[in-house]
Amino acid sequence: MKVLRLNPPKLTVLKIGGSVITEKSEELTPRMQDINRLADEIKNAAIQNLVIVHGGGSFGHPVAQKYNISSGFKEGNQQGFAETHHVMTVLNGLFMDALIWRDIPAISITPSSCITTKKGRIQSFDEARFKALIKMGFLPVIYGDAVLDSELGFTILSGDQLVAHIATRFDTGRIIIGVDVDGLCSADPKTEKTAKMYEHLTLAELKTLQSQICKPMSCDVTGGMLGKMTELLPAVEHGIPVMIVNAKKPNYIYKALKGEDVQGTLIEKE
Ligand code: IP8
């Protein structure tokens, strides 16, 4: 597979989880303080060749679940597709506002307009456009969305699948995943006091652990932490290190972007 090369430095793919920028327990509730703080951190880090992917949180997931969008088109659920896509554009707009008004040349890329999947897996993606934007110094921002699917009619594409796809198609140096917990844990750290956080995992260790990683507690149509890890495996297999950090903690994303020491889980091929 031909990997698309950029001018140095290598690409950084930053995922901001929906649980960080939205209140997961309250439908359609953004966490504006966190959105603004993260935009400050991204601005201050001033990283070249950066792509941001964000999740759906309490915008995309409850609507997608209500209409069962992941399982595809059924006569009558077009409204659900339209609503899911719409609420994602609203969340994306809030995030874009925070970036743009800090003088960051961020460009929103709408998956439903430029990506199709086949049985839920990315089938076509306008990579040349993406590459051209990065080369010109833009910061592409893309997100989990409702997309057309060649077999299902339509479905849900997770931000995590986008992260792994972009990272493996471009010359990517690292992936940073911002979540609402301190890293990858042996159990749900929000409910299990004994949960142990892994500071470093190899690909082989991650594969062994996969069956034990906590399932999401709140509504998540794309599989929560377990789905995240499964999606990221191909990127780790490509040799791209993945750093999972708590994006709710001030300056963690800043430090991760700058390559400074920060608490979290580092996953590497070996
Ligand atoms: O939060 C899913 O993206 P994710 C987006 O990255 C929708 O899994 C529309 C549910």
Q: Name which residue leads in pLDDT, 206 or 5.
A: 206
Pocket test for ligand 1, best of 83, 115, 117, 156 (most atoms within 8 A of CB): 156
User: How remote is the CA of residue 159 from the centroid of ligand 1, in Å?
Assistant: 6
Q: State which ligand 1 atom lies nearest to the alpha carbon of 222.
A: 8
Q: State which ligand 1 atom lies nearest to the alpha carbon of 18.
A: 1
pLDDT score recorded for residue 191 = 83
Q: Any residues with Cβ below 6 Å from ligand 1, and which?
A: 18, 55-56, 60-61, 64, 84, 88, 144-146, 156, 158-160, 221-222
The span from the CA of 197 to the CA of 202, in Å, is 14
- Mean pLDDT score of the chain, rounded to an integer? 93
User: How remote is the CA of residue 151 from the centroid of ligand 1, in Å?
Assistant: 20
Closest C-alpha residue for ligand 1 atom 1: 55
Q: What is the pLDDT of residues 87-142, one digit of tens each?
A: 999 999 999 999 999 999 999 999 999 999 999 999 999 999 999 999 999 999 99
Q: Is the pLDDT of residue 144 over 60?
A: yes
H runs (alpha helix) in the chain: 18-21, 32-45, 57-66, 78-100, 111-114, 127-135, 159-169, 203-209, 224-237, 252-258
Q: What is the pLDDT of residues 42-88, one digit of tens each?
A: 999 999 999 999 999 999 999 999 999 999 999 999 999 999 999 99
Pocket test for ligand 1, best of 16, 155, 158, 218 (most atoms within 8 A of CB): 158
User: How remote is the CA of residue 242 from the centroid of ligand 1, in Å?
Assistant: 19
Q: Is the pLDDT of residue 14 over 80?
A: yes
From 19-33, 97-111, 148-162, 189-203, the region with the lowest mean pLDDT:
189-203
Give, in degrees to the nearest 5, the angle at Cα 214 between 31 and 157. 60
pLDDT score recorded for residue 227 = 73
Residue 54: what residue type?
A: H
Q: Is the pLDDT of residue 215 over 90?
A: no
pLDDT score recorded for residue 87 = 98
pLDDT score recorded for residue 231 = 93
- Per-residue tokens: 9: 């430095």
The model carries a pTM of 0.94
Q: Is the pLDDT of residue 218 over 90?
A: no
Parallel/antiparallel/unpaired status of strands 106-108 and 139-143: parallel
Q: Is the pLDDT of residue 217 over 60?
A: no
Pocket test for ligand 1, best of 24, 87, 141, 143 (most atoms within 8 A of CB): 143
Q: Is the pLDDT of residue 152 over 90?
A: yes
pLDDT score recorded for residue 223 = 67
The span from the CA of 254 to the CA of 256, in Å, is 6
Q: Is the pLDDT of residue 149 over 60?
A: yes
User: How remote is the CA of residue 60 from the centroid of ligand 1, in Å?
Assistant: 6
The residue written with tokens 């800043």 in the block is 254
Q: State which ligand 1 atom lies nearest to the alpha carbon of 146.
A: 9
Q: Is the pLDDT of residue 216 over 60?
A: no
